[in-house]
Chains A and B, each alone.
Chain A
Amino acid sequence: MIRVELAKTFRRPRTYVIAGLLCLLPLIVAIFLATTRIPPPPGQGGAFLSAVLSNGALYPAAAMALVLPVFLPVSVAVLAGDSVAGEASAGTLRYLLIRPVGRTRLLVAKLISLIVFVLFAIAAVLVTAYLTGLLLFGSQPSAGVALPADVTSLSGVTITPAGLVLRLLGTVAYIVISMLGVAAIALFLSTITDSALGAAMGALAVLVTSQVLVTLDAAAAIRPYLPTRYWFAWIDFFREPVLWRDIERGAGIQLVYLAVLLGAAWANFMTRDVTN
């Protein structure tokens, strides 16, 4: 079933369209930066953006910071919202279930194909961003990579390229976990409604609300428990030394959300009448 689910994901043109759009955004930003050479002032604009002009090798990290707040969660919410509700409204859900595919199995396969999609999309963004960075900004000839001042608040710290790769891998893992939280919300809603659009909208509504509350001091009491509170904690991977506190908290919160929502999705789907 997992193989079938992956085949379905990667046979759909929309998978590549979404990944393509995700890659396009950093590319557009890079072209503007490279032609004008006007960096955003340190501390403003996307993270890393002011640093990439002097070092293209950091551009993959900057690209992550560009797609993370909106673009990536939107695509994950759309795909996850579609996963069960889309099958239901297309009339294929009942045929999968009488094939028979167990309901638990179906949910697991859906979740795994979502993880694979997120990895695929992130990898595509990283690769195109790396190439863009090298082509448009060039790389420092030396073996060391200077961490940008606006992130480390310590200028002059350098890490090895191997260290950079390691930190990027940590970033990818952290973002995958964050996006799984998004996927879990949308997947849960997807088992409730037969409208794929409704499920995606519901998940996005949760995320937008959370992002608004994160910036609101009046909501400080619940801030640590909001799903988007620690989304940018991965930037701490680029500090020297790595600042683990927020990364650990963020991952912990996402795992709790994941467990609760997937449990709810499973419980709901197992007992639900499939009537469409």
Chain B
Amino acid sequence: MIVTRGLTKTYGRVTAVDDVALEVREGDRYGLLGPNGSGKTTLVRMLLGLVFATKGEIEVLGRPVPKQVMRVLPAIGALVEGPGMYPHLSGRTNLALFDAAGPGSSRRDRRRRVGEALERVGLAGIDKRPVRAYSLGMRQRLGLASALLRKPRLLILDEPTNGLDPRGIREIRDLLTELNDEGTTVFLSSHLLAEIEALCTRVGVMDRGRLVVQDDLEKLRAPTGRVLVGTSEPDRVIALLDGKVEHREGQLLTVRHPDAGALNADLVAAGIRVTQIGGERRSLEQVVLDATTTSSDRVEAA
């Protein structure tokens, strides 16, 4: 769906995006993670032909961008750095105007499509109030509705849950999962780790313009070779396993062991009561911390 090779963007002496090889496959829910200022937005803008790359190639939906971007964009719904709407017009009028501005939308079913999109994002009941009077969350939903208006094959969303409350975030996550199940590829960027971990199947991590990690979430969160064991008799476990216990915190032990099932069988055979057991997995946070060097908004003395 999206492939970039050696993608680089420099503004004067600042390198915003540095040699990025992005790969988003059909059907992915791809999460691009990175702190503010790591180049996510510039990358997204280049994919949409808004910003021109200094070096490198971009291919979206099998076509080169920006060369054939006009043929690519009709199949894409996007949200870039917050929604942009005409503040003096109502939400419906805004959607209709944007719909009428470009190709591939028929006038006859416009009203119906606008209605459906608004319903999907939970704005079915909006009235004639101008967008000026909307809350940040309502605008965000309206922006999403605008992206969904023509049933795109690919959704490119930059910080889609900005300004939403926890319930709103959950609704949008469910909506995106639903769309993905219907066959839409979802590419989203966020600086919120938990959001990506909860939604995405594939993760890319940006750090100072570079794509430092890109893999399936399942693979990134590989087992660490340790097992977490909860027991009411921690001392007996330590005695039995002899040196394999790496960490003890009350009744919770971290044991170096490749297989939680086998360990459980051993403990039960020895007559030890196990209250909980499970293989430890790397958290996405650990992955990100390992891959990135320092917080991007720290300013160290030279």
Contacts and interface: CB of A to CB of B under 8 A. Distances in A.
A273 interface: yes
A154 interface: no
Interface in A1-56: 1, 3-4, 7-8, 11-13
A102 interface: yes
Contact of A99 (B81, B88, B101): B101
Given A273-B52, A274-B50, A98 B84 contact: no
B7 interface: no
B287 interface: no
Nearest to B77: A98
A208 interface: no
Interface in B74-116: 74, 76, 78, 80-89, 93, 97-98, 100-103
Contacts of A11: 88-89, 93
Given A92-B86, A94-B80, A4 B101 contact: yes
Contacts of B101: 1, 4, 96, 99, 101
Interface string A237-256: 00000000000000000000
Nearest to B86: A92
A93 interface: yes
B270 interface: no
Nearest to A95: B84
Given A11-B89, A90-B86, A274-B45, A96 B50 contact: no
B51 A100 contact: no
Given A12-B88, A13-B88, A97 B82 contact: no
B76 to A, nearest CB: 7
A99 B101 CA distance: 7
A94 B97 contact: no
A271 interface: yes
Nearest to B150: A99
A198 to B, nearest CB: 20
Contacts of A100: 49, 69-70, 73-74, 102-103
B74 to A, nearest CB: 7
B51 A271 contact: no
Nearest to B48: A98
Contacts of A95: 80, 83-84, 98, 146
Contacts of B98: 95-96, 99
B86 A8 contact: yes
B76 A98 contact: yes
A69 interface: no
Contacts of B97: 4, 7-8
A96 B83 CA distance: 12
Nearest to B52: A273
Nearest to B143: A95
A86 to B, nearest CB: 10
A13 B69 CA distance: 35
Given A7-B97, A8-B97, A92 B85 contact: yes
Contacts of B74: 100
6 contacts: A94-B81, A95-B146, A97-B48, A98-B48, A273-B45, A275-B45
Interface of A: 1, 3-4, 7-8, 11-13, 90-102, 271, 273-275
Q: Which 4 A-B pairs have the closest CB atoms?
A: A91-B84, A99-B102, A100-B73, A92-B84
Given A8-B86, A94-B81, 12 more contacts: A4-B97, A90-B87, A96-B102, A98-B73, A98-B78, A98-B80, A100-B49, A100-B74, A101-B101, A273-B45, A274-B45, A275-B51
